[in-house]
């Protein structure tokens, strides 16, 4: 049997995306408390995310939404990583307030974005180890948040994933 690389590429990229989800899940987290939610988009769901980014461009005029909304259509899958916002109860002051009780509810605990950052790094490192192309996109994360892809989360990032001759996420037009 001959298996042409081009015939199995998408399924292999999706398999890498699944491994990225595992890497994000197992990344270290403050106090061992897991507030992350993760999912993988393919096919029509990538198109839906791109369409939401086009709406964001229309509403805000910010070119990043238009550029990245077109760019994610070149991905075989998109990994979404988000976090719930919840204080850790450490009263550390990293958020800018003396105690967790003094912190306004709309201000995230400093450890929530730190945890998602570590998870993002772990996910893209896994992708790099498996030689696929990625790019962390806050813009697609904002669109995913507007679509409420992961219920109850307040901070989202997206990672489009591709395996092509040249990364579609590198030389992007402004």
| pLDDT digit string, tens, across residues 40-76 | 999 999 999 999 999 999 999 999 999 999 999 999 9
Q: Is residue 121 part of a domain?
A: yes
Domain with 146, as residue range(s), is 5-43+76-162
For residue 164, pLDDT beyond 70: yes
Task: Tell me what pLDDT residue 166 has.
Answer: 85
Count structural domains, the chain. Answer: 1
Q: Is residue 71 part of a domain?
A: no
pLDDT confidence band for 174 (50 / 70 / 90)? low
How many contiguous H segments (helices) and E segments (strands) does the chain have?
5, 4
Dig out the tokens for 132 from the structure.
């696929």
Task: Tell me what pLDDT residue 169 has.
Answer: 82
Task: Tell me what pLDDT residue 165 has.
Answer: 86
Q: How far apart are CA 29 and CA 23, in angstroms?
A: 12
| pLDDT digit string, tens, across residues 10-46 | 999 999 999 999 999 999 999 999 999 999 999 999 9
Q: How far apart are CA 128 and CA 79, in angstroms?
A: 14
Task: Tell me what pLDDT residue 120 has.
Answer: 98
CATH number of the domain that residue 27 is part of: 3.40.109.10
Q: How far apart are CA 92 and CA 162, in angstroms?
A: 40
- Terminus-to-terminus CA distance in the chain, angstroms? 44
For residue 168, pLDDT beyond 80: yes
Q: Is residue 100 part of a domain?
A: yes
């Amino acid at each position: 049997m001959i298996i042409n690389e081009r015939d199995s590429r998408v399924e292999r990229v999706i398999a890498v995306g699944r491994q990225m989800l595992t890497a994000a899940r197992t990344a270290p987290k403050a106090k061992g408390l897991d507030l992350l939610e993760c999912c993988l988009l393919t096919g029509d769901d990538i198109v839906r995310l791109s369409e939401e980014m086009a709406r964001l461009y229309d509403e805000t005029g910010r070119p990043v939404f238009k550029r990245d909304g077109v760019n994610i259509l070149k991905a075989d899958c998109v990994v979404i990583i988000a976090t719930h916002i919840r204080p850790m109860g450490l009263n550390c002051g990293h958020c800018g307030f003396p105690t967790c009780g003094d912190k306004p509810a709309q201000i995230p605990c400093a450890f929530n974005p730190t945890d998602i950052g570590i998870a993002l790094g772990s996910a893209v490192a896994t992708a790099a180890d498996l030689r696929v192309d990625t790019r962390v996109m806050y813009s697609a994360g904002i669109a995913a948040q507007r679509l409420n892809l992961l219920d109850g989360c307040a901070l989202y990032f997206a990672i489009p994933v591709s395996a092509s001759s040249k990364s579609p996420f590198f030389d992007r037009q402004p």
